[in-house]
C-alpha cells in the first residue's frame, strides 16, 4: 500500500533545510533593499531584523522581534529563505513568525530574553529553529528542545571573532572528548553536562553534532570566514560585518567566496584586496560582563 | 556488487548538501567521489552531481569561478549529470519568473519553491519509473517541480500530477533529495548511467 499522503514539517525536512544552507553565508538585513543586495551577492538566506546587532548594542533598551510588515516585505523581495529572530523563551513571538511563513526562526540571545528559565519547546512548531550555543552541552540542550540547526554564539555586533573561535573550539573539543570516552562513562558525562543521554551517545558514536553546526557573532572579514570554516563551521551567519562596512556589496561577495574556498589561501587573498574599512569594531576586553550577549541563554 | 574504482563521480561543492551526496555514494556502488570546486577537478570526473542548496548562490559561484562553461560543454559532450532540487533548477532551460544563471542544458521548465515555503516542506512516497520495488522516499524542501517538458525528456516520477523526476539522455533530475534518506536506488541508477557512458566512450 502506497502512502501518498504528504507528511509536512518532519524532523527530516527541518534538518534538511539546514543541510541545504551548508557552505553558505546567511546575512543580516534590515530592509528589502539590503535583502536584494545580499541575494545578489550570493547569500544562501537572509536574517530579517530591525537593527543589526551593532546598532542593538549602541541603541540599548529592550530588543524585540521585528515588525511583521518589514519581515513580509523582505520575504516578498527575495527568493532565498528568510529567517527572523524571536526572543529566548518568547513562545508568542515564535508563533507570529511561524504564522508569517518565515523559513527559520532564530531563538536569539541578540534580542533581550523573555524568559530567564526556559527556552522555547521547539518540537511544538512546524517551522524549524536555530539556536546559539557556547559549548557542546548548551548545543545538545537546544537540540533536545528541538533546534534543527545550531550556531555558535560568538559575540554579535563587535566585529571581534575571538568569541566565535572560543565557542567553536569548545563545541568541537567537546565532541572529541565524548568520542574518547568509554560507553559506561557517557551517563556521567550526560549528567555533568546537563544534556540528554541519547544525544551524548549519538555524538560519541558519530563524532559530530546531530544537526548542522554553523558559526555566528563577530565575523567581519573574508579571513574570519575562512578561519571559522577551517575550525569546523559548516556555514556562517554574518550580521553587522557586511552592512556596517564601507563597501557592503564587495564585502558580501568576498565573504561568500571565502566561505566556499576556505582552505585556499590564494583565493582568500584575492578577495580580501581593497575591500575598504570593515565595520567599526569593539575589542571584547573593553566590554563589561553585562554587555556580553552570549551570556544570555543557558 | 560491482565496484568501479576507475569511475569518479564529481559532486559540485560550491554550496549545498554535497557532503550528503558523498556519503550516499559511499554506500552505493563503490565509485570514487570528488568534491569539485574548480575546472581542473571537473575534468577528473566521469559524471557530475549538482546537489541541493540555493540555486542562485550556486549559479553565481559557477560564473564567478569560471566553471559554468566547461561544465555545460562536458554535459553536452555526454558526461552524465544528476541534479537534486537546486541542481534540477540549474539544469533547466526555463525557470518561471527568474532570470537567474543556469546551465540551461535540460529541456524542462521549472517553478521554484513551487510547493510553498519551508513550513510546506514535506515527505511522501514517490513511485519512480525504472526502479524496482517500493516507491522512493521523497524529501521535498522548498522544492521545485517541472511544469513542462519537451524534446527527449522522459518523466520518471510524479507527485499529485506534478513532475518531480525526469531523465533526458545523459541527464537525471529530481525535485526531492534521495541523498537525505537511506535509499540508494536513485544514485545507483545514476551510477549505471555513468558506467554506460564510460563503456560507450571506450567502445565507440
Strand stretches in chain A, DSSP E: 7-8, 25-29, 45-48, 82-87, 104-108, 129-133, 149-152, 213-215, 236-238
Tell me what pLDDT residue A188 has: 98
In this structure, are strands A236-238 and B8-12 parallel, antiparallel, or unpaired?
unpaired
Q: Which of A8, A14, A72, A85 is catalytic?
A: A85
Alpha helices in B81-184 (DSSP H): 86-91
Given the cut 0.85, state whether the ipTM is greater than it: yes
Residue A2: band (very low, low, confident or very high) from pLDDT cuts 50, 70, 90 = low
Contact (CB<8Å) A45/B54: yes
Task: Find how far residue A185's CA is from the centre of its chain.
Answer: 31
Does the pLDDT of residue A1 top 50, yes or no? no
**A103: closest chain B residue by CA:** B118
Q: Does A207 touch chain B (CB under 8 A)?
A: no
Read off the pLDDT of residues B171-199 as tens digits, 9 standing for 90 and up.
999 999 999 999 999 999 999 999 999 99
| Cα–Cα dist A130/B185, whole Å | 32
Nearest Cα neighbor of A133 from A87, A166, A160 is: A166
Q: Does A103 touch chain B (CB under 8 A)?
A: yes
The H helix count followed by the E strand count for chain A is 13, 9
- The three cell numbers of residue A250 are 564587495
In the block, which residue shows the cell 549505471? B192
Mean pLDDT over A147-155 rounds to 96
Read off the pLDDT of residues B144-153 as tens digits, 9 standing for 90 and up.
999 999 999 9
Q: How far is A62 from chain B (nearest CA, A)?
A: 29
Residue B1: band (very low, low, confident or very high) from pLDDT cuts 50, 70, 90 = very low
Does the pLDDT of residue A41 top 80, yes or no? yes
Read off the pLDDT of residues A49-61 as tens digits, 9 standing for 90 and up.
988 888 888 888 8
| Cα–Cα dist A245/A248, whole Å | 6
Contact (CB<8Å) A80/B85: no
| Cα–Cα dist A63/A50, whole Å | 9
Decide: helix, strand or coil at residue A46: strand
Q: Does B187 touch chain A (CB under 8 A)?
A: no
- Give the DSSP letter of residue A67: P
Does the pLDDT of residue B5 top 60, yes or no? no
Nearest by CB to A3, which of B15, B122, B125?
A: B125
Q: How far is CA A113 from CA A89, A116, A295, A297, B13, in A?
A: 7, 7, 11, 8, 38
Q: Does B18 touch chain A (CB under 8 A)?
A: yes
Query: By the 8 A CB rule, do B76 and B107 touch?
Result: no
Determine the longest span between alpha carbons in chain B, in angstroms: 50
- The three cell numbers of residue B201 are 566512450
Read off the pLDDT of residues B9-68 as tens digits, 9 standing for 90 and up.
999 999 999 999 999 999 877 799 999 999 999 999 999 999 999 999 999 999 999 999
pTM of the model: 0.95
Residue B115: band (very low, low, confident or very high) from pLDDT cuts 50, 70, 90 = very high
Contact (CB<8Å) A12/B118: no
Residue A58, Cβ neighbours under 10 Å: how many?
Answer: 12
Contact (CB<8Å) A81/B118: yes
Does the pLDDT of residue A295 top 60, yes or no? yes
Mean pLDDT over A224-241 rounds to 96
From chain A residues 13-52, the ones with a CB under 8 A of any chain B CB are 13-14, 16-17, 19-24, 39, 42-45
Alpha helices in B51-113 (DSSP H): 55-64, 68-76, 86-91
Residues 6+ apart with CB under 8 A from A206: none
**B135: closest chain A residue by CA:** A2
Q: Which of B85, B168, B187, B188 is catalytic?
A: B85
Contact (CB<8Å) A22/B17: yes
Mean pLDDT over A115-120 rounds to 97
Query: By the 8 A CB rule, do B15 and B61 touch?
Result: yes
Active site residue B177: yes
Contact (CB<8Å) A20/B53: yes
Residue A42, Cβ neighbours under 10 Å: how many?
Answer: 27
Q: Does A202 touch chain B (CB under 8 A)?
A: no
Provide the number of CB pairs (under 8 Å) joining chain A to chain B.
Answer: 127
Contact (CB<8Å) B135/A2: yes
From chain B residues 157-186, the ones with a CB under 8 A of any chain A CB are 160, 177, 180-181
- Ordered by where they begin, the domains of chain B are 4-202 (3.40.50.880)
Beta sheet of B136-140, edge-to-edge order: A7-8, B122-126, B136-140
**A22: closest chain B residue by CA:** B16
| Cα–Cα dist B204/B192, whole Å | 18
**B113: closest chain A residue by CA:** A79
Read off the pLDDT of residues A8-38 as tens digits, 9 standing for 90 and up.
999 999 999 999 999 999 999 999 999 999 9
| Cα–Cα dist A145/A105, whole Å | 14
Nearest by CB to A103, which of B15, B98, B117?
A: B117
Tell me which of A274-278, A283-287, B53-57, B132-136 is least confident: A283-287
Amino acid at each position: 500500500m502506497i502512502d501518498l499522503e504528504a507528511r509536512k514539517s518532519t524532523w527530516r525536512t527541518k534538518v534538511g533545510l539546514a543541510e541545504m544552507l551548508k557552505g553558505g553565508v546567511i546575512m543580516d538585513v534590515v530592509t528589502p533593499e539590503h535583502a536584494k543586495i545580499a541575494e545578489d551577492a550570493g547569500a544562501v538566506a537572509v536574517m530579517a531584523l530591525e537593527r543589526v546587532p551593532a546598532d542593538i548594542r549602541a541603541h540599548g533598551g529592550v530588543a524585540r522581534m521585528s515588525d511583521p510588515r518589514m519581515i513580509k516585505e523582505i520575504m516578498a523581495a527575495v527568493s532565498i529563505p528568510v529567517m527572523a529572530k524571536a526572543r529566548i523563551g518568547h513562545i508568542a513571538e515564535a508563533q507570529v513568525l511561524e504564522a508569517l511563513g518565515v523559513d527559520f526562526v532564530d531563538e536569539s540571545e541578540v534580542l533581550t530574553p523573555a524568559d530567564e528559565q526556559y527556552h522555547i519547546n521547539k518540537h511544538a512548531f512546524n517551522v524549524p529553529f536555530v539556536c546559539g550555543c557556547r559549548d557542546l552541552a548548551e548545543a545538545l540542550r537546544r537540540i533536545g528542545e528541538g533546534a534543527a540547526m545550531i550556531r555558535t554564539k560568538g559575540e554579535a555586533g563587535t566585529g571581534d571573532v575571538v568569541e566565535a573561535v572560543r565557542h567553536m573550539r569548545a563545541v568541537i573539543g567537546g565532541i572529541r572528548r565524548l568520542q574518547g570516552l568509554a560507553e559506561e562513562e557517557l551517563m556521567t558525562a550526560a549528567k555533568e553536562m546537563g544534556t540528554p543521554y541519547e544525544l551524548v551517545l549519538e555524538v560519541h558514536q558519530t563524532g559530530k553534532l546531530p544537526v548542522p553546526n554553523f558559526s555566528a557573532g563577530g565575523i567581519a572579514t573574508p579571513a574570519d570566514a575562512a578561519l571559522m570554516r577551517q575550525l569546523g563551521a559548516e556555514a556562517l551567519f554574518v550580521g553587522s560585518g557586511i552592512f556596517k562596512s564601507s563597501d557592503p556589496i564587495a564585502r558580501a561577495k568576498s565573504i561568500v567566496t571565502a566561505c566556499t574556498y576556505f582552505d585556499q589561501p590564494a583565493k582568500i587573498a584575492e578577495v580580501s584586496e581593497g575591500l575598504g574599512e570593515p565595520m567599526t569594531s569593539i575589542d571584547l576586553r573593553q566590554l563589561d560582563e553585562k554587555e556580553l550577549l552570549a551570556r544570555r541563554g543557558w | 556488487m560491482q565496484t568501479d574504482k576507475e569511475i569518479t563521480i564529481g559532486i559540485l561543492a560550491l554550496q549545498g548538501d554535497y557532503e550528503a551526496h558523498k556519503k550516499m555514494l559511499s554506500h552505493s556502488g563503490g565509485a570514487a567521489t570528488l568534491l569539485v570546486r574548480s575546472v581542473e577537478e571537473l575534468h577528473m570526473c566521469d559524471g557530475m552531481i549538482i546537489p541541493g542548496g540555493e540555486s542562485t548562490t550556486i549559479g553565481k559561484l559557477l560564473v564567478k569561478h569560471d566553471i559554468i562553461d566547461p561544465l555545460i560543454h562536458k554535459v553536452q559532450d555526454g558526461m552524465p549529470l544528476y541534479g537534486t532540487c537546486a541542481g534540477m533548477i540549474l539544469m533547466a532551460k526555463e525557470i518561471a519568473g527568474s532570470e537567474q544563471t543556469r546551465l540551461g542544458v535540460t529541456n524542462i521548465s521549472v517553478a521554484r519553491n513551487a510547493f510553498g515555503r519551508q513550513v510546506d516542506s514535506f515527505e511522501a512516497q514517490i513511485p519512480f519509473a525504472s526502479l524496482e520495488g517500493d516507491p522512493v522516499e521523497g524529501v521535498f524542501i522548498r522544492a521545485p517541480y517541472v511544469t513542462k517538458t519537451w524534446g527527449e525528456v522522459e518523466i520518471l516520477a510524479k507527485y499529485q500530477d506534478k513532475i518531480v523526476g525526469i531523465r533526458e539522455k545523459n541527464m537525471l533530475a529530481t525535485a526531492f533529495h534521495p541523498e537525505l534518506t537511506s535509499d540508494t536506488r536513485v544514485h545507483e541508477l545514476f551510477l549505471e548511467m555513468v558506467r554506460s557512458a564510460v563503456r560507450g566512450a571506450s567502445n565507440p
